[in-house]
Amino acid sequence: MEEQLSELTTYANALWVLVSAALVFFMHAGFALVESGFCRRKNAVMVLMKNFGVVGISSLVFYLVGYGVMFGEGNAFMGLASFFPNNGGADADLPPYVFLFFQLVFAATACTIVSGAIAERGRLLTFFLFTALATMMIYPVVGHWVWGGGWLSEMGFVDFAGSTVVHGVGGGMALAGAIIIGPRLGKYQADGSVKPMPAHSFPLAALGVLILWLGWFGFNGGSELAIDAEVGRIVLVTNLAASAGFVGALIWIKVRSGMLDLSMALNGALAGLVGITAGCYNISGGWSIVVGIVAGMLVVEGVFLLDKMKIDDPVGAITVHGICGIFGTLAVGLVGYGNAATGEEPLGLLVGGGASQLGTQAIGAGAGVAFAFAVGSVVWLALKFLVPGGVRVSEAHELEGLDIAECGVEAYNAELSGVEVGAGAMASAPAE
């Protein structure tokens, strides 16, 4: 009987992880809708092509190489075994292939973040090449440090579901790409003003954010790798942080601009989700609201900051994923607990745990994002100078629109297409 109960538990856990993996996979529909909705309609097909390409390319590369780098036996820096994992990448507590599939659907997320930051001017071919290289040697290396038994894991660094491993890494690579590729034509005027680039569909973007919000319950809840008493609390604090992020950003942009900017509020919800991802196991419900509010405010300030620096990020990916990924990682060292359900074993500085964990979190977040930015910059520069045509489309193609120039087809029938919609007070867009 005991053996049968154990087997039943194993397969119940496997079912939960597979359902969570399906939710994470469905998040790519959200990414595609958000980026497409907040880009101009002349680039909508290009956005969809990039998002589909990320899923296909990263799935193949992670299976062939990335999984071994991330989880294979090796050293403190990277794995050196388990390439092309025919053993199913078995986890001791899950049936073969379940853990592998869950990690595979995670892998595409980091590069999808990059897609949004270079939208409307990056070449499709070089983006696909970057996706393959990043899935091979950037994302899985940082993942090994944290989840594969690497040096950050040995330090006691906490990143439960990926504020640094997924979002910080994606934000670092996105920042490198946005800087090297440069801003869209006409975005920053000679007099220092910022020209709004009109979004073509707020409804698509809002629907995309809701899909991402839903998928995040699998993203965070599935990272428990079991259906147990903690899962309910994990998805609850995830929802609380997203809600607080939405409210925090909406209030703060109203204070800053006098407008209730939907795009900023949607960004705020995503910021709250990113911010709680590292600590969804370790942060209590009350503190998750605080984390969400702060993340929502940070994303507003991040948009202003990037525009001052003339770094063009059409969907706010760098602020949502990069800045809020770092903040979410640090939040564990500020308000985290070893046992958040009971408030025992305080880890965070503000809850009586001292500064040690905060220092570890700062080292981990800094190392992960810096590595992603540095190696991402090298890859982008290599593609720029070694690939014929470089990393950016021609000026003529950018003005024409990448749907025709790169994909040869328009998203909408010319007889049915309407006037593009303005992008709101800040002309900002939710991140992927």
CATH number at residue 60: 1.10.3430.10
Q: Could you read off the pLDDT of 161-185 as tens digits, one per residue? A: 999 999 999 999 999 999 999 999 9
- Answer whether residue 399 is part of any domain: yes
Spatial separation of the C-alpha atoms in residues 346 and 289, rounded to whole Å: 18
Q: Is residue 428 part of a domain?
A: no
Mean pLDDT taken over the chain: 93
* Six-digit token string for 271: 């910021």
Is residue 300 assigned to a domain? Answer: yes
Least confident interval from 38-42, 104-108, 421-425: 421-425
Residue 414 lies in a domain: no
Contact 348, 316 (CB under 8 A): no
Question: 188 lies in a domain?
Answer: yes
Q: Which of 205-219, 303-317, 407-421 has the lowest mean pLDDT?
A: 407-421
- pTM for this predicted structure: 0.93
Q: How many domains does the chain have?
A: 1
Distance, in Å, from the CA atom of 398 to the CA atom of 411, rounded to the nearest integer, reads 16
Per the structure block, which two tokens stand in for 285? 């419900």
Where does the pLDDT of residue 416 fall: very low under 50, low under 70, confident under 90, or very high at 90 and above?
Answer: low
R_g (Cα) of the chain, nearest Å: 21
Cα angle 317, 321, 324; round to 5:
125
Q: How many CB atoms lie within 10 A of CB 189?
A: 9
Confidence of residue 95 (pLDDT cuts 50, 70, 90): confident
Position 429 in a domain: no
State the average pLDDT over residues 148-164.
97
Range of the domain at 31: 2-407
List, for residues 295-347, the tens digit of each pLDDT value.
Answer: 999 999 999 999 999 999 999 999 999 999 999 999 999 999 998 888 889 99
Please indicate, yes or no, if residue 43 is contained in any of the structural domains.
yes
For residue 426, being part of any structural domain is answered with no
Sorted by sequence, the CB contacts under 8 Å of residue 60 that are 6+ apart come out as: none
**Token reading at 86:** 């025919």
pLDDT grade for 58, boundaries at 50, 70 and 90: very high
Report how far residue 1's alpha carbon sits from residue 20's, in angstroms, rounded to the nearest whole number.
29
